[in-house]
């Protein structure tokens, strides 16, 4: 059994760790609340915009086909891996790294795959085995649409210039504080809605789109905006997921530290009681020896 000094030192160390993890949990909870409100507010708009984009793409003919919907033989692939700049978030970053490696080794095996890493943690690991085209660690310090739109524009320009034939986003989609879903989402080329042989109906009404001013202008304005919004939504999802994962991880760490501290205190009390008992026995034995 460890001596009393060692146990006191360990109890003090665990208590300090528990205070740190508890504080980190509270900080992440506060940040999560704000991030959750942001992604919850923008998700319906982004989803509807994506739906309109897909339906619009399905109506395009060869003459009005958008350059962002061009289907080419896939030889060069860009994977946009969205992670975080900091750790202590459970499996948040490792799940992204695992998903990217699976894509490279399975779905895109034999292709020329480059990575755009948004976040420090994925870059630190993936740069050892994968081809990193570019890394950006500032995005979560400036999580604004205008800044993410610049990154999206670079991706779109590279696709138009045929540097890449396919662009895929890999990120954690936010469900709730305890659940984050690793999502692989195609950004380019645009995935059109499936064309049906009969008229598409929704709620009993035939969908009849009226394009105004005209289809070409809508293609020119809506598609780039939708692609930029798609990347920004993925970043917002990842940001909320990060704080949810960190809050959950720090909550579990605090619970484990509490259990360990209580166990150490029990050991300390037992050791202290045993020491006191031995001292009493020595005194009694000494007294009996003097009397005899």
pLDDT of amino acid 59: 65
d(CA 105, CA 88): 27
Phi, psi of 106 (to 5 degrees): -115, -75
pLDDT of amino acid 49: 82
Among residues 34, 4, 61, 49, which one has the least CA distance to residue 273? Answer: 4
pLDDT of amino acid 201: 46
Q: Which residue has the higher pLDDT, 5 or 92?
A: 92
pLDDT of amino acid 133: 93
Q: What's the DSSP call for residue 88?
A: -
Report pLDDT digits (tens) over 234-292.
999 999 999 999 999 999 999 999 999 999 999 999 988 988 888 888 888 888 888 87
Q: What is the mean pLDDT of residues 185-197?
A: 72
Query: Residue 166 pLDDT > 60, yes or no?
Result: yes
Query: Which structural domains are found in the chain, ordered by start?
Result: 22-195+205-248 (3.40.1380.10)
pLDDT of amino acid 203: 52
Longest C-alpha distance within the chain, in Å? 116
Report pLDDT digits (tens) over 49-67.
877 777 776 666 554 457 8
Residues 6+ away with beta carbon under 8 Å from 103: 79, 113, 168, 170, 184
Q: What's the DSSP call for residue 193?
A: P
User: pTM of the entire structure?
Assistant: 0.84
């Amino acid at each position: 059994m460890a001596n009393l000094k060692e146990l006191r030192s360990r109890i003090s160390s665990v208590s300090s760790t528990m205070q740190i993890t508890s504080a980190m949990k509270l900080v992440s909870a506060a940040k999560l609340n704000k991030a959750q409100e942001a992604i919850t507010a923008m998700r319906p708009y982004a989803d509807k915009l994506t739906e309109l984009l897909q339906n619009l793409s399905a109506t395009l003919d060869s003459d009005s086909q958008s350059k962002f919907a061009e289907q080419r033989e896939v030889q060069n692939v860009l994977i946009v891996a969205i992670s975080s700049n900091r750790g202590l978030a459970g499996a948040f970053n490792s799940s992204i790294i695992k998903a990217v490696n699976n894509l490279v080794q399975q779905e895109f095996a034999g292709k020329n795959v480059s990575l755009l890493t948004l976040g420090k943690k994925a870059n630190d690991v993936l740069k050892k085995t994968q081809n990193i085209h570019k890394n950006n660690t500032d995005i979560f310090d400036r999580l604004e649409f205008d800044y993410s739109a610049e990154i999206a524009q670079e991706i779109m320009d590279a696709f138009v210039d045929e540097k890449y034939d396919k662009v895929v986003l890999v990120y954690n989609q936010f469900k709730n504080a305890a659940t984050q879903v690793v999502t692989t989402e195609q950004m380019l080329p645009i995935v059109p809605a499936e064309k049906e042989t009969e008229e598409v109906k929704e709620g009993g009404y035939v969908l009849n789109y009226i394009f105004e001013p005209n289809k070409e202008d809508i293609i020119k304005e809506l598609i780039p905006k939708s692609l930029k919004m798609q990347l920004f939504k993925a970043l917002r999802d990842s940001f909320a997921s990060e704080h949810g994962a960190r809050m959950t991880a720090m909550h579990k760490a605090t619970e484990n530290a509490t259990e360990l501290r209580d166990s150490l205190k029990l050991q300390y009390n037992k050791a202290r009681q045993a020491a006191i008992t031995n001292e009493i026995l020595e005194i009694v034995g000494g007294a009996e020896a003097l009397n005899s």
